[in-house]
């Protein structure tokens, strides 16, 4: 037996590897431990196998996903269920046995001629009550390499665990490759086996589809959190730095591509995580950790002015994987909104050789990078990472923010009247769709807790868990809702990108009871006179009364329409009594 496996002495791990080796028939199996040598090996293999390519900057590589594999494929991500379940929202499901049988067939020989990588990771910090161990089998060195940047290594954690049978399992195959890119994306399947705590994913490479530890593990974690009485959320985690020397931790849920990472990266604040957190009550206090240790972030509009910290990492030596950006003849990455010169001669693109004249089938110019093009880096590379990043106890969570992409209704920031009202507001996020998922963009969709894409529980249970959590806490976090995308009658955005810094500092001051608020039917909104000094100190800007009026006038008719839509949604779902009351009260407050 492989040395690393015998040192691990985990029977279940060995059986799983044996089973999938026989079934998928890889040419060889490489077991990865926590050493830097093994991490370097994955990077090398990704380059040798053509899934990544070198760039001129030391440590930088690039990867292309297929033209039809540029975002999460919701339609082919199915929950396998032994008995049908009423979720209260649309989600793709499949009879468990049918799905498992289909998978056994599709996995048969899928890795022939390829190398299978076995890697061990830990979701959440290691040696922590939050830790969940995860075993990944994949024939994609790009996937295994990305996981090294994005997750904590877990071989030692597997070796020393006191519960050796308790881990998530991910089996992935990129399927047949053509020029290093998955060829058979029309046969893409992502099957989530909740009962088996495992996920199968085949014929894809885009990280949101392929990387077991990202959204696939997240789906398993949501179901597990429900069973065990904690929360797994699609949220950033950040330190907001208010008064000198004071750090207050905030989490925030925003649908994909709606400002989540950029909020966590607000200048002067510190980032713990930008995508997924676990939160638990300990002795009446809510604590949270980042599940990950890196960022798989959207690269569009990352530039020296708007995102200086990330831009700095992307333009300096150190490990970084660029995906679906333009590569110049000099081996340099260029992307939309980078502020970089685009060479007239063009360069390499996920759709082939790109020139500025290139048009798609409908005659539209092909952008230099895909809207969902991404970078993969470690959080350690960022100067503004929070010192508590790896703290096994997590950080104390004092506030939660819910955001959406809403051009015509919600004010830039409002505070919920209570934890229960906050749960209602989180459950009623509506947001316009983006390029982070396949399908049409700009369509307003209800996206409860910005988590609908990953929800593996009926909505009523998910909401009950939030309400129940509030009962366990001595002090519940304050809840805020934000909207960075409000437009005026002329169609122009009413806010500047950086204004979110002011909203977060205002919210932080609210947590500490330092500023007042105006009680309105939709929640508590800032007073003009409290925002003026914040705009001055945070952004060195003056803030006019007209701007305030345009942004914070409650658009009563639009809000009424929103709450009518929500009433229609929830009239058809059995929800907890507290939630129904909150919804009723919200509608009543707007009626008078
Ligand atoms: C998101 O789309 O929410 C992401 C990227 O964070 S991924 O889920 O990996 O596609
Ligand atoms: Mn996400």
Q: Burial, 268: exposed, middle or buried (Cβ in 10 Å; 0-12, 13-18, 19+)?
A: exposed
H-helix segments, 118-183: 141-150, 155-160
Residue 258 annotated in active site: yes
**CA 260 to mean position of chain CA atoms:** 8
Nearest C-alpha neighbor of 438 from the set 184, 262, 208: 208
Helices first, then strands: H and E counts in the chain: 17, 33
Q: With a 6 A CB cut-off, is 24 part of the ligand 1 pocket? A: no
Instruction: Answer whether 574's CB lies under 8 Å from 506's CB.
Output: no
Q: Of all atoms in ligand 1, which is nearest to the CA of residue 71? A: 10
Q: Of all atoms in ligand 1, which is nearest to the CA of residue 453? A: 3
Q: Please count the other Cβ atoms lying within 10 Å of the Cβ belonging to residue 443.
A: 10
Rounded to an integer, what distance in angstroms lies between the CA atom of residue 425 and that of residue 402?
8
Domains of the chain in sequence order: 2-50+72-228 (3.40.449.10), 232-293+389-591 (3.90.228.20), 297-380 (2.170.8.10)
Nearest C-alpha neighbor of 511 from the set 239, 201, 134: 239
Q: With a 6 A CB cut-off, is 217 part of the ligand 1 pocket? A: no
Written as tens digits, the pLDDT of the chain (592 aa) is 689 999 999 999 999 999 999 999 999 999 999 999 999 999 999 999 999 999 999 999 999 999 999 999 999 999 999 999 999 999 999 999 999 999 999 999 999 999 999 999 999 999 999 999 999 999 999 999 999 999 999 999 999 999 999 999 999 999 999 999 999 999 999 999 999 999 999 999 999 999 999 999 999 999 999 999 999 999 999 999 999 999 999 999 999 889 999 999 999 999 999 999 999 999 999 999 999 999 999 999 999 998 999 999 999 999 999 999 999 999 999 999 999 999 999 999 999 999 999 998 899 999 999 999 999 999 999 999 999 999 999 999 999 999 999 999 999 999 999 999 999 999 999 999 888 888 888 889 999 999 999 999 999 999 999 999 999 999 999 999 999 999 999 999 999 999 999 999 999 999 999 999 999 999 999 999 999 999 999 999 999 999 999 999 999 999 999 999 999 999 989 999 999 999 999 999 999 7
The pLDDT value recorded for residue 37 is 98
Q: How far apart are the first and last CA of the chain?
A: 73
What spacing in Å lies between the alpha carbon of 375 and ligand 2's midpoint?
A: 13
Q: With a 6 A CB cut-off, is 214 part of the ligand 1 pocket? A: yes
What spacing in Å lies between the alpha carbon of 3 and ligand 2's midpoint?
A: 37
The pLDDT value recorded for residue 107 is 98
The pLDDT value recorded for residue 433 is 87
The tokens of 89 are what? 């929202």
Q: Which ligand is nearest to the CA of 209?
A: 1
DSSP labels, 321-358: EEES-EE-TTS-EE-TTS-PPPPTT-EEETTEEE-TT-
- Please give the radius of gyration of the chain, using alpha carbons only, rounded to the nearest integer: 24
Q: Going by CA atoms, what residue is nearest to atom 1 of ligand 1?
A: 256
Q: Give the CA dihedral 408, 411, 416, 421, nearest 10 degrees.
A: -10
Q: Which ligand is nearest to the CA of 206?
A: 1
In the three-class reduction of DSSP (H, G, I as helix; E, B as strand; rest coil), residue 104 is classed as: helix
What spacing in Å lies between the alpha carbon of 531 and ligand 2's midpoint?
A: 30
Q: With a 6 A CB cut-off, is 548 part of the ligand 1 pocket? A: no
Nearest C-alpha neighbor of 270 from the set 309, 235, 227: 309
Length of the chain: 592
- If one residue of 74, 199, 205, 208 were mutated to test the ligand 1 pocket, choosing by the most ligand atoms within 8 A of its CB, it would be 208
- If one residue of 294, 436, 447 were mutated to test the ligand 1 pocket, choosing by the most ligand atoms within 8 A of its CB, it would be 436
Q: Of all atoms in ligand 1, which is nearest to the CA of residue 298? A: 5
Q: Going by CA atoms, what residue is nearest to atom 3 of ligand 1?
A: 256
Rounded to an integer, what distance in angstroms lies between the CA atom of residue 402 and that of residue 251?
9
The tokens of 240 are what? 């907001």
Residues near 38 by beta carbon (within 8 Å), at least 6 away in sequence: 32
pTM of the complete model: 0.97
Q: With a 6 A CB cut-off, is 256 part of the ligand 1 pocket? A: yes
Rounded to an integer, what distance in angstroms lies between the CA atom of residue 306 and that of residue 81?
44
The pLDDT value recorded for residue 39 is 98
Q: Going by CA atoms, what residue is nearest to atom 7 of ligand 1?
A: 208
In the structure, ligand 2 is a single-atom ion and the residues with CB under 5 Å from it are 256, 275
**Which residue is catalytic, options 24, 258, 320, 428?**
258
Instruction: Answer whether 358's CB lies under 8 Å from 346's CB.
Output: yes
The pLDDT value recorded for residue 1 is 63
Residues near 158 by beta carbon (within 8 Å), at least 6 away in sequence: 8, 10, 13, 120, 133, 135, 164, 167
Residues near 113 by beta carbon (within 8 Å), at least 6 away in sequence: 27
Q: Going by CA atoms, what residue is nearest to atom 5 of ligand 1?
A: 208
Q: Of all atoms in ligand 1, which is nearest to the CA of residue 214? A: 9
Q: Of all atoms in ligand 1, which is nearest to the CA of residue 256? A: 3
Q: With a 6 A CB cut-off, is 219 part of the ligand 1 pocket? A: no
């Amino acid at each position: 037996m492989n040395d690393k496996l015998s040192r691990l002495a985990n029977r279940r791990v060995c059986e799983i590897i044996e089973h999938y080796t026989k079934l998928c028939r890889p040419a060889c199996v490489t077991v990865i431990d926590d050493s830097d040598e093994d991490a370097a090996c994955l990077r090398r293999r990704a380059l040798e196998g053509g899934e990544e390519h070198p760039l001129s900057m030391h440590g930088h590589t690039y990867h292309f996903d297929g033209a039809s594999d540029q975002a999460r494929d919701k339609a082919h991500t199915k929950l396998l269920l032994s008995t049908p379940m009423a979720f209260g929202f649309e989600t793709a499901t499949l009879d468990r046995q049918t799905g498992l049988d289909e998978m056994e067939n599709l996995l048969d020989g899928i890795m022939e001629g390829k190398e299978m990588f076995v890697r061990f990771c830990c979701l959440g910090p290691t040696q922590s009550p939050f830790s969940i161990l995860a075993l990944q089998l994949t024939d994609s060195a790009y996937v295994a390499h990305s996981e090294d940047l994005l997750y904590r290594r877990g071989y030692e954690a597997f070796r020393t665990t006191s519960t050796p049978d308790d881990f998530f399992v991910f089996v992935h195959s990129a399927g047949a490759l053509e020029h290093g890119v998955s060829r058979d994306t029309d046969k893409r399947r992502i099957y989530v086996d909740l009962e088996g705590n495992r996920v199968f994913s085949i014929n894809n490479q885009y990280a949101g589809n392929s990387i077991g530890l990202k959204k696939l593990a997240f789906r398993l974690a949501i179901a597990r959190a429900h069973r065990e009485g904690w929360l797994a959320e699609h949220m950033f985690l950040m330190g907001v730095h208010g008064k000198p020397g004071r750090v207050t931790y905030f989490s925030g849920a925003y649908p994909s591509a709606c400002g989540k990472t950029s909020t966590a990266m607000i200048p002067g604040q510190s980032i713990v995580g930008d995508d997924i957190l676990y939160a638990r009550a300990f002795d009446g206090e809510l604590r949270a950790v980042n599940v990950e240790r890196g960022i798989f972030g959207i690269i569009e509009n990352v530039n020296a002015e708007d995102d200086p910290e990330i831009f700095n990492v992307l333009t300096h030596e150190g490990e970084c994987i660029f995906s679906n950006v333009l590569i110049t003849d000099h081996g340099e990455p260029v992307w939309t909104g980078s502020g970089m010169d685009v060479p007239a001669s063009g360069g390499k693109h996920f759709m082939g050789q790109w020139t500025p004249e290139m048009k798609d089938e409908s005659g539209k110019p092909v952008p230099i990078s895909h809207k969902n093009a991404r970078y993969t880096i470690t959080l350690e590379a960022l100067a503004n990472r929070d010192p508590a990043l790896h703290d096994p106890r997590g950080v104390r969570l004092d506030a939660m923010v819910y955001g959406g992409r809403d051009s015509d209704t919600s004010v830039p920031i409002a505070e919920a009247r209570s934890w229960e009202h906050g749960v209602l507001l989180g459950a009623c996020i509506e947001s316009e769709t983006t390029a982070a998922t396949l399908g049409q963009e700009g369509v307003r969709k209800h996206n409860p807790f910005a988590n609908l894409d990953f929800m593996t529980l009926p909505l009523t249970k998910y909401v009950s868990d939030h309400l129940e959590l509030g009962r366990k806490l001595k002090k519940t976090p304050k809840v805020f809702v934000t909207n960075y995308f409000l437009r005026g009658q002329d169609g122009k955005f009413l806010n500047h990108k950086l204004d979110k810094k002011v909203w977060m500092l205002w919210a932080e001051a609210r947590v500490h009871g330092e500023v007042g608020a105006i009680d309105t039917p939709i929640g508590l909104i800032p007073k003009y006179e409290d925002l003026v000094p914040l705009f001055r100190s945070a952004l060195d800007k003056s803030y006019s009364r007209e701007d305030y009026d345009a942004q914070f006038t409650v658009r009563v008719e639009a809000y009424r329409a929103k709450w009518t839509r929500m009433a229609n949604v929830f009239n058809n779902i059995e929800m907890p009594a507290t939630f129904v009351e909150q919804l009723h009260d919200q509608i009543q407050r707007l009626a008078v």
